[in-house]
């Protein structure tokens, strides 16, 4: 079965690797794409994905064990037929929140993405990663990635996009690399900002408070009484004076009603996390879904895994903007030339 026959409605097709719970998949779906296959190894991520995308075929396993032949057979495509090949390889080795080790084995997972890309030869690919990969000594890793992707037969362009300008109520910068197959003679490009920042009050509009309450500790309640109004970052001096040390101060942050929320963490450890603007609790899962642009009815297994899934996901509205741009400004040109 060819990609053209894979969707009788003529929707552009996509395969999502490192799919997680489906943040990118949701963006492509909203942009009118037909997802032929999702590739993910994490058990909870796969369970969450299947809850929300029951009609999408999933390869549940290690991507290094997935051959190009099997990938195309599962998706029902032949070489060169796929429209978009998408992936967000794990980025912990590049993240500025970690130790940023060039030799971190997680940094090499992009090679699996490149291996499949080279064999499948889609018209376009999209690769997302953290901005840490283009900073300082890690920039060498970024240049290596670009070189590898170009050697797969693609014109490539990377650009930092901030989700807050794409209808996402969250300050979240990510490097988005878009590639277009050489024979199509089309330069890759990125969507321009399309919205003003959305503040927390606007994001929470009409949301009913649920019972998912993770309360803050006593010393944070004391901190909140002295915490500067309308502020995002914690005040280190006040924090240290009350707690006795600065442990957790960098990762403990307050939302402000009148500002766009900062980047959601992928985990909540001890006393750290993002705290509600004026209540003695952390953000609920429902509120985090709003901040990340997931729909209210998107299902997660539980709070802990939900925080992880959201923190590791590409915000759906950001990917929707990228997918629509590719659909309207790149794929449309390939159809005109056919």
Per-residue pLDDT at 248: 84
CA angle 162, 168, 173 (to 5 degrees): 20
* Per-residue confidence (pLDDT) for residue 338, from 0 to 100: 56
pLDDT tens for the chain, 338 residues: list them: 344 444 557 899 999 999 999 999 999 999 999 999 999 999 999 999 999 999 999 999 999 999 999 999 999 999 999 999 999 887 544 444 444 444 444 557 888 999 999 999 999 999 998 887 777 677 887 888 999 999 999 999 999 999 999 999 999 999 999 999 999 999 999 999 999 999 999 999 999 877 788 898 888 888 888 877 667 777 888 889 998 998 888 878 888 999 999 999 888 877 888 999 888 899 999 999 999 999 999 999 999 999 999 999 999 999 999 999 999 999 999 876 55
Q: What is the pLDDT of residue 96?
A: 42
Q: Considering the domain 200-311, what is its CATH architecture?
A: Alpha-Beta Complex (3.90)
Let me know: does 16 contact 35? Beta carbons within 8 Å. yes
- Let me know if 331 is exposed, middle or buried by CB neighbors in 10 A (0-12, 13-18, 19+): buried
Count CB neighbours of 133 within 10 A.
Answer: 26
DSSP sequence for 192-258: PP-S----HHHHTTTPPP-S---BPPHHHHHHHHHSPTT-SS--HHHHHHHHSS-TTTTTEEE--TT
Q: Could you list the active site residues?
A: 91
Structure tokens at 208: 């009913």
pTM of the entire predicted model: 0.91
Kind of pairing between the strands at 273-275 and 154-162: unpaired
Question: CA-CA distance, 172 to 73, in Å (whole number)?
Answer: 36
Q: Where in the chain is the domain with CATH 3.90.120?
A: 200-311
> In sequence order, which ranges of the chain are alpha helices (DSSP H)?
3-6, 23-30, 43-52, 68-75, 110-120, 139-151, 200-203, 218-226, 236-243, 285-292, 303-312, 316-326, 332-337
Which of the four CATH numbers 3.40.190.80, 3.30.420.40, 2.130.10.10, 3.40.50.150 does domain 3-196+314-333 have? 3.40.50.150
- DSSP class of residue 129 equals E
pLDDT given for residue 98 in this prediction: 45
> Residue 6: its pLDDT value, please?
44
């Amino acid at each position: 079965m060819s990609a053209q026959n894979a969707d009788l409605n003529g929707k552009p097709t996509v395969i999502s690797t490192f799919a997680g719970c489906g943040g990118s998949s949701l963006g492509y779906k909203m942009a009118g794409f037909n997802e032929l296959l999702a590739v993910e190894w994490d058990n909870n991520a796969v369970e969450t994905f299947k809850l929300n995308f029951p009609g999408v075929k999933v390869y549940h396993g290690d991507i290094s064990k997935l051959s190009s032949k099997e990938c195309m057979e599962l998706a029902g495509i032949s070489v060169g037929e796929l429209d978009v090949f998408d992936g967000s390889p794990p980025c912990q080795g590049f993240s500025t929140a970690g130790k940023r080790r060039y030799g971190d084995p997680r940094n090499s997972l992009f090679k699996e993405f490149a291996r499949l890309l080279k064999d499948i030869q889609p018209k376009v690919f999209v690769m997302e990663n953290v901005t840490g990969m283009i900073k300082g000594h890690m920039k060498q890793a970024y240049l290596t990635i670009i070189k590898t992707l170009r050697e797969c037969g693609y014109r490539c362009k990377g650009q930092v996009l901030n989700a807050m300008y794409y209808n996402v109520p969250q300050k979240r910068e990510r490097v988005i690399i878009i590639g277009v197959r050489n024979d199509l003679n089309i330069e890759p490009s990125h969507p321009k900002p399309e919205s003003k920042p959305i503040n927390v009050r606007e994001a929470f509009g009409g949301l009913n408070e649920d019972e998912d309450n993770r309360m803050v500790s006593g010393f944070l309640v004391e901190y909140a009484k002295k915490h500067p109004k309308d502020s995002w970052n914690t005040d280190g001096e006040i924090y240290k004076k009350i707690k006795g040390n600065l442990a957790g101060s960098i990762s403990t942050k307050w939302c402000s009603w009148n500002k766009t929320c900062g980047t959601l963490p992928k985990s909540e450890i001890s006393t750290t996390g993002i705290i509600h603007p004026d209540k003695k609790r952390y953000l609920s899962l429902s509120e985090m879904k709003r901040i990340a642009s997931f729909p209210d009815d998107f299902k997660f297994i539980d709070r802990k895994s939900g925080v992880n899934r959201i923190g590791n996901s590409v915000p759906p509205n950001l990917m929707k903007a990228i997918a629509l741009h590719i659909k309207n400004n790149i794929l449309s040109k390939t159809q005109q030339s056919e």
